[in-house]
Amino acid sequence: MALGLNFSSPNYANAVELALGPVLFMSVSMLLNSSIAARLGQVMDRAKFLRGDAYRPVESAQMHEFEVLMKRARLLHRAIWASSLGALMFALVITLSFLTAFLRADLSMLLAGCFLTALLGIVTSLYMLLRESDLALNNLKL
């Protein structure tokens, strides 16, 4: 039984055209992911430094800073998760774009749903990053 695949050059060109936007979005979400991961690394390094030796008595101020660092780390972890979900959904949009072109199937609703989910992932990631930045600035002691 034939699947009805169409590998003619106009279909390739159309699929590549459709995939260019999501490819750019996917690369942006991965750049966002790397910058959030670097920020998370800095937070974790500071938390490890504060935790230090388990036998050393812990001051109240250090304990408060450690708790704030853990809240920041959780926000950054959620931001990475949301950004990764966005990148994954953009990859799925790219894949579905090619499948739509080659299978001559109407996957427009599925494509729209995946694209919307990807954008929501990126927006959520940026929102978590803003919340983490606010938390960091509100607890800054110079």
Residue range 117-130, pLDDT digits in tens: 999 999 999 999 99
Residue range 56-111, pLDDT digits in tens: 666 777 788 889 999 999 999 999 999 999 999 999 998 888 888 777 778 889 98
DSSP state of 54: T
pLDDT at site 1: 45
Residue range 45-63, pLDDT digits in tens: 888 888 775 556 667 777 8
The tokens of 29 are what?
Answer: 């979400």
Residue range 3-39, pLDDT digits in tens: 555 555 566 666 677 677 788 888 888 899 999 999 9
**Beta carbons within 8 Å of 8's beta carbon, 6+ residues apart:** none
SS3 for 88-141 is HHHHHHHHHHHHHHHHCCCCHHHHHHHHHHHHHHHHHHHHHHHHHHHHHHHCCC
